[in-house]
Amino acid sequence: MTNQDNHQQKQPAAFKPYIEPNRIVQFLKKPFIAGILVFLILMLLVLAFSLQLFNNFRSNQHIQLKQAAYTAKEKLEKVLNNSLSATKTLSFIATSYKIDKDFDVLAQKIIDNNRFIDAVELFEGGVITHVYPYKENASVIGYDILKDTLRNKEALLAISKNELFFAGPFTLRQGYTGIVGRLPIYVDNKFWGFSAVIIKLSTLIRAAEIDSSFKSTYIFQLSKFDPNTGKEVFFLPHPEQFQNPNSVVVDIPSGGWKIYARFAKNQRPNNFFSLILLGILFAFTGGLFVWFIARQPFVLNNLVNEKTAQLKQSEEKFRSLVEQTLVGVFIMQNRKIIYSNPRFMSMIGYKQDELLSTTELKDFVHHSDLEKVNWNYEQPVTATGMPDLYTIRLINKKKHVVYVELITSGIMYEDKQAVIATCIDITRRMEEEKTISKAVSEAQENERMQIGMELHDNVKQILAASLLNLGTVQAYIDDKEIVSDRISQLKLYMDEAIYELRRLSHQLAPSLDPSDSLSEKVQTLVKSMLGSNKLKATVYVDQFPKEINSEIQLAIYRIVQEQVANTLKHSNADEITISIKQKNSGIFIVIADNGKGFDLSQKKEGIGLENIRRRALAHDGKIKIITSPGKGFELQVEIPFD
């Protein structure tokens, strides 16, 4: 007995509620018509499936092209962002110090730290006054970009926007083709000139990896609308190949460029025509055996399984794209990771079985950032929901801190609410920002130290000598009470001047003698700053069991100095409290006053608070401000020991 006969004997009742005998007879009386009908239906299914397969293939091809184009864009924008840091550094040094003697040294350091920058320029007004390397670029010295009507539009655009803007690519006066990024410099709210970087076109193409030799799968094109003619100009070979729907394009706002991408060869689905032929054969066979198919319910199950396999295949293609991307991706349900691509696993150093079975959020997210991110999406996911963007710290398996930009959004995963997150490693960028902050802070400290020494060694000595001379005059003048009285008064003025100079010198160049405690230094600072002011100060400093190094002590000293100065200038307070304590593994500083406060949402932070924030960031610290109109001001600063 066959399996078919066994199936029919075991489940005869399953067919009675759904199939009427009269319809079966009528159906079998017209097998040709039934076969044609089934054949046509199956052919429509085959054509629909083939069309869907082709559309999926085209969609996947488009996604791959988009990914390739955005990858090239990210690499190019990374070069532009590095250029922004370089121009800002040059701008700051140019406006703060005399640059004539040190320009080559500074420019060489900038180029050494930015391998995709070929030259650095400094403008006064629109005239190039400094360039490095000099030998290759000497011909541009004295060139006035603002008077060049063919090239000045993008320079004027940079001035109007007051931001870095990249001009070109075009043939430079030096003889090579490149782009010029110009950042306007303002002194006392007046335009002073530009700090600029030059990137050769060949360097730009190499940095973005848009030369076809880098990726044989894709061909790229770089274009820009000429500001003089308004026409689109292409900078790579064969621009005509990108004027068709098989290519994609992304915009780069910083220079007004476009990056095109297309496949190097025409792509077709594997075995597409063979699949159509098999589909026709399947439809023909189905028509011939329609009477048998009508009696076999498991055929329907096979069709369901086939569709499920197709869906799984599409899911695998999507998974393959996610796993090959340079961005970390993971999915969470109930604060547990249920999926992670290889890039995210490499970021935090865990293997897949460790990540999916044993780790929790607290194992790799910095404890201070756990509550910062919205990991719960309890509301239904809608098409209009916008993703959330955060900058947080991850702790990898080796306990190293990794800074990432995290984008999270709610999704439905296996019919349940979940969170999908993508993260980009920005550790290098954060370290560079901290290095720059430290360098700026050190420059300010050196400047203040120099001013303090000048006041102490020169002005004070002159005043002291004047005091001695006046005392001598007083001793040898007989019976001249009025003159004596004036001279005595001048002595008092001299004493007061010497006291003020000593106080100013102490504030500009604080004594960081290891024998003095942090409490003594802060007490002395506050006392010298308040003087006869009506502001009443209460200072409390912990006796720290762990020694605080001199750099952190100096940062604390400057933070207190900056905030006390802010209170004296702006708060109208009559009481201020300064507390420096140990909290967890760091130093917790709280400075509060009972002044007028302000609305944080309406008022932008001033230079004083920005200096405090920068000093805290230079030591991996963070600040928090609590204030509102009429309710005083409280500054909280937390700096780790290490």
pLDDT at 300: 59
Looking at the predicted structure, is the pLDDT value of residue 453 above 90? no
The one-letter amino acid code at 271 reads: N
Q: Tokens at residue 468, please?
A: 């001695």
| Cα–Cα distance for residue pair 569/565, rounded to 1 Å | 6
- Counting residues of the chain whose pLDDT is more than 70, the rounded percentage is 73
Band of pLDDT at residue 56, cut at 50, 70 and 90? confident
Average pLDDT score over residue span 356-364: 75
Three-state DSSP at 124 gives: strand
Enter the CATH code of domain 65-263: 3.30.450.20
Residue linked to tokens 């025409």: 266
- Angle (nearest 5°) at CA 632 between 627 and 634: 55
Report the candidate in 448, 429, 437 with the shortest Cα–Cα distance to residue 616.
437
User: Of 3-17, 204-218, 479-493, which gets the smallest average pLDDT?
Assistant: 3-17
Pairing of strands 536-541, 575-583: parallel
Q: Tokens at residue 187, please?
A: 């002194």
DSSP 287-320: HHTHHHHHT-THHHHHHHHHHHHHHHHHHHHHHH
Instruction: State the Cα torsion 231-235-237-241 to the nearest 10°.
Output: -40
Q: Tokens at residue 9, please?
A: 């004997």
Fold of 515-642: Heat Shock Protein 90 (3.30.565)
- Counting residues of the chain whose pLDDT is more than 90, the rounded percentage is 5
Report pTM. Answer: 0.36
Looking at the predicted structure, is the pLDDT value of residue 136 above 70? yes
The one-letter amino acid code at 261 reads: A
The secondary structure of residue 535, as a DSSP letter, is: -
pLDDT tens-digit series, residues 226-259: 777 778 878 777 666 666 667 788 888 766 788 8
Three-state DSSP at 228 gives: coil
Report the candidate in 466, 506, 507, 508 with the shortest Cα–Cα distance to residue 490.
466
Looking at the predicted structure, is the pLDDT value of residue 637 above 90? yes
Beta bridge partner(s), residue 416: 413
Report the candidate in 231, 228, 173 with the shortest Cα–Cα distance to residue 198.
173
How many CB atoms neighbour CB 154 within 10 A? Answer: 19
Looking at the predicted structure, is the pLDDT value of residue 632 above 80? yes
Beta bridge partner(s), residue 177: 171
Looking at the predicted structure, is the pLDDT value of residue 329 above 60? yes
Band of pLDDT at residue 539, cut at 50, 70 and 90? very high
Extents of the domains making up the chain: 65-263, 325-420, 426-509, 515-642
pLDDT tens-digit series, residues 109-130: 888 888 888 899 989 888 988 8
Domain 325-420: give its CATH superfamily. PAS domain (3.30.450.20)
Q: Do domains 325-420 and 515-642 have the same CATH topology?
A: no
Beta bridge partner(s), residue 638: 588, 622
Q: Are 120 and 111 in contact (CB under 8 A)?
A: yes
Beta bridge partner(s), residue 626: 634
Band of pLDDT at residue 18, cut at 50, 70 and 90? very low
Report the candidate in 269, 254, 281, 251 with the shortest Cα–Cα distance to residue 60.
269
pLDDT tens-digit series, residues 591-628: 999 998 888 877 766 777 888 888 888 888 899 999 99
Looking at the predicted structure, is the pLDDT value of residue 428 above 80? yes
Average pLDDT score over residue span 140-148: 88
Count each helix (H run) and each strand (E run) in the chain, helices first. Answer: 19, 19
Looking at the predicted structure, is the pLDDT value of residue 15 above 50? no
